[in-house]
Every structure is written in structure tokens, then in C-alpha cells.
Structure 1
Amino acid sequence: MTQNPIPYADRRFDALLFDMDGTLLTSIESAERVWSRWLTHHGFDPVEILPRIHGVQTLETIRRLDIPGIDPQQEADWIAREELADLDGVRAIEGAAEFVARLPHDGWAIVTSATRPLAEARLAAAGLVPPPLFITAEDIARGKPAPDCYIAAARRLGVAVTQCLVFEDAPAGIASGRSAGAEVVVITATHTHPLTTEYPHIRDYRGLTAAHTDGGLMLQVRTAI
């Protein structure tokens, strides 16, 4: 059984849109090892900066740090290569593999701030099936918290974003889903502190399924077989 009441139990959705890192899988150990090395090299305290990196495109984070004399794209490329080489500790959120494996092929997408090569590598490391549709950093000019990525995913699936349910874990992603006009459910498996939000939350996907009905997808408790 899930550890919280089923969110949106009386609502049908045309599609489910998932963030990846922190939502379907955890890559915190890998990402923070790489970012800590990079931040230390540039004179930053990782303890101060690391909480800001999650859910945001690498290039955008680097630009916000406003480091004189660097090429942000070159630095982002270095971080991407290091993250690809360090997949230790990447694993699926509990129940996520079973949950997405049962979704209809045309009913879901992954919408991530990661690059496509990194997203594919992390999914493989976590043992998760690839989505029918990927929206990655290369596809969107404005990353989260802008709504563009979720709007684009819904459009490519041929549904209205207002009829989609977004699964997120980080403030930037939650804001992106909200701005797009979608409903949001917050996954808290990787949270170390409570996150204040107006949206319902569940820890993980254990005991959860999405039933495919005539009116769309409904979140339900999975019945053991």
C-alpha cells in the first residue's frame, strides 16, 4: 500500500509527465560528488550551493553563479561528462520501475533538466524502461521553472497540458508544472526536509498503479496478483 492517501483518486488524466532525478530515480550521490569537485575548484562552498542545483539545467545554474572568465557551456559540458562517468548510487525510487512499466505507451513522458545522454545513462543504471517521449535539456530553450518543457511534452503527446498530472520533487519543477497549468503530485523519497507546497505528496510508488479507463488514467492502489 502507498504511505499516503492516493492523490487525485477521483480524477482522470490524459497523460502522466515525470521529472526524472529525484522523482523516478535518485542520482543525488553522483551529482553531488561531481558538483562538489567543480564548486570547490571555483572557490564555492558546496554546502551552500548544492541545494540550488536540483531540478535546474546545469547550464542555467552555472550562469546564475556569474563566474568571471569562464565559458558556461564548456563548464556545463565538463560536468555532463563527469556525471556520465559516475553513475555509482543511481537507483530507482521504490516502486517506480513497476509503476511506469504498466503505463500505456502513449500515456507518459519524462521531462528532465538533464541532457539526453545523461538521462538515458541514468535510466539504464536505475533499471527503468525508457519513456515513449523524452523532453531533455537540448529540447527546451527555457528550463524549469519555466513551463515550456511540460507544455512541449503535452503537445507532443497530443493532449492538453491542463489534463496532465506532473510528478515532481524539486521547487523548480513544481513551479514549472504549476505555470504550465497541470496538476502536480510531489515525490518525497529523496527529501531530507519537509517541502511546503499546495500539492499532495507521496513518498514513492509502492502499491500505486495508474488504471487505464475510458476517460483516461486514474491513480489507484495496485491489487496484488
Structure 2
Amino acid sequence: MGTNEGKAAIFDLDGTLLDSMDVWHQVDVDFFRSRDIELTDDYMGIVNAMRPDEVARYTIEHYGLDDTPAELTKLWDSMVLEAYGHTVEAKPHAVEYLDYLKSSGARLAVATSLSPQVRGIGMEHVGIRRFFDVVISVEDTDARSKHSPEVYLAAASRLGVAAQDCTVFEDLLVAVKAARSAGMHVWAMEDDYSLADRPAIREAADGLIADFADAPRKL
């Protein structure tokens, strides 16, 4: 029997498995510059945990834009697809860690807010799609947000693993707290875009890592 037989690991993508948060910042910079709008310092912090359609609605309402949410989402997706397909890389030792977990008997899932097209091209580009038994989005749940543990519980259900036997890897404070509220173990990935929340993340999570070489071998 493998070291992690009967256990599961559930991974976020942006900022956790993928070193991709700079992509979204650059998209924001380029988009706001094209509209001649000042990008406020708090924008990324506000929209980080939102779904793409929620970000679009917030942006339209906050900045008084004439676009529809669907139009903005389509535009942003086209801007990030190039980066996710060519320049985004995996976090340090992520591929090796996923390979280890898979060979140790663990079931693996992705729980993300990314659209199917963006997450698909990103996972294929860095070579990690083959490791996962389940890929689920907040869009597939009633809560439709990582402020709720529903996406993690849905992933566990699809994997056939009890919540208490799941370990979640996340980078955002709201997501760490949501996964903990589901009775799951949580390890947090350091990301510069969560720097202000790092003390709270460290307190809420089972552990904090900057490199998957330091991630737990036994879930």
C-alpha cells in the first residue's frame, strides 16, 4: 500500500501550482492603460478571490465602463491565453511533488477559479494535467466562490475521499480559511500577492511553504 493510499490532495492553480499572478497584474496594467484609467493599488487585493465574471462586474461598476461582463471576460481571457500557453511556469518543484504524490497512492484534484480554456492551456503548458483525477471550478458549485468550502467538498466527493483525509494547497487567506472550515488540512503557498495576509495565513494553515520541495510527503 502506498504512503498516501486513501488520502487526497486538492490544489489551487493561480499562485499555488502556477507562478501566474504576475500575468493577471500585467493584464490589468495593459487593460487599464488601454482605457486611460488609473489602476488603484487595492484593485488586485479586492478581486483576487473573485470569479472572472465577478471581477468583470466589479470593474464595470467601480470604473463606470460600458462593457458587459461577458465582453470583458472574453477580452481578458484572450489576453491571458498567450501568457498561460507560453510564459507561465510551475512553482518550484511542483511537477516533482505531484509525481511523488501520484506514485504514493494519493488521489489528486484541482479546485480553481480559472475558466476551462485558461486552466487547460496552463496545465498542459507546464505538464501537470496528467496527474489529476478531478479538475473542478468554483463555477461548478452553487457557492461559485472560494469564500465557501463548497468547491473543496465537491472535489473530495468526486475523488471519493472524506474531507478529513484531504489536504488543500492554497495561496489566498479566504481560501485557506474556507478549506479549514471543511475539516481539511491546509498548506499555504507563499505568493507575493498575498504578502499582506501572510501572518494570518501562517496562523490559519497547517504550514507555509515557498517551494514544493518543502511540502509534506505524508498527507
1:128 is aligned to: 128
Q: CA deviation at 1:53?
A: 3.2
Which residue of 27, 37, 40 maps to 1:43? 37
Alignment of 1:203-214 (within 5 A): 203-206=210-213, 208=215, 210=217
Q: CA deviation at 1:187?
A: 0.8
Which residue of 57, 61, 73 maps to 1:63? 57
Q: Considering only aligned residues, what root-mean-square deviation do their CA atoms show, in Å?
A: 2.6
Q: Which runs of 4+ in 1 moved over 6 A?
A: none
Structure 1 length as normaliser, TM-score?
0.78
Q: Which moved more, 1:52-61 or 1:107-116?
A: 52-61
Change (3 A) 1:35 1:70: same
For 1:61 and 1:102, the matched residues in 2 are separated by 35
Q: Which amino acid aligns with 1:204?
A: D
2:181 is aligned to: 179
Q: Which amino acid aligns with 1:201?
A: L
Change (3 A) 1:83 1:204: same
Q: Which moved more, 1:87-96 or 1:46-55?
A: 46-55
2:140 is aligned to: 139
Q: Per residue, is there more helix in 1 or in 2?
A: 2
Please say if residues 133 and 159 of structure 2, whose CA atoms lie closer than 8 Å, have aligned partners that are also in contact.
no
Change (3 A) 1:42 1:156: farther
Q: CA deviation at 1:100?
A: 0.5
The runs of 5 or more residues in structure 2 that have no matched partner are none
Q: CA deviation at 1:151?
A: 1.1
For 2:160 and 2:107, the matched residues in 1 are separated by 10
For 2:211 and 2:188, the matched residues in 1 are separated by 9
**Alignment of 1:30 onto 2:23:** yes
For 1:64 and 1:161, the matched residues in 2 are separated by 33
Bigger relative CO (Cα 8 Å, ≥ 6 apart): 1
For 2:108 and 2:90, the matched residues in 1 are separated by 17
Structure 2 length as normaliser, TM-score?
0.79
1:5 is aligned to: none
Change (3 A) 1:208 1:170: closer
Please say if residues 188 and 202 of structure 1, whose CA atoms lie closer than 8 Å, have aligned partners that are also in contact.
yes
Alignment of 1:61-210 (within 5 A): 61-65=55-59, 66-67=61-62, 68=64, 69-87=66-84, 89-104=87-102, 107-130=107-130, 131-141=132-142, 142-190=144-192, 193=195, 195=198, 196-197=200-201, 198=203, 199=205, 200-206=207-213, 208=215, 210=217
* Cα shift readout 1:3-33 (whole Å, capped 9, x = no counterpart): xxxxxxxx99721111011111111222211
Please say if residues 81 and 118 of structure 2, whose CA atoms lie closer than 8 Å, have aligned partners that are also in contact.
yes
Q: Which moved more, 1:133-142 or 1:158-167?
A: 133-142
For 1:42 and 1:161, the matched residues in 2 are separated by 47
The runs of 5 or more residues in structure 1 that have no matched partner are 1-10, 211-217, 220-225
* Cα shift readout 1:89-118 (whole Å, capped 9, x = no counterpart): 411111110010122376110101101111
Identity %: 26
Q: CA deviation at 1:54?
A: 2.7
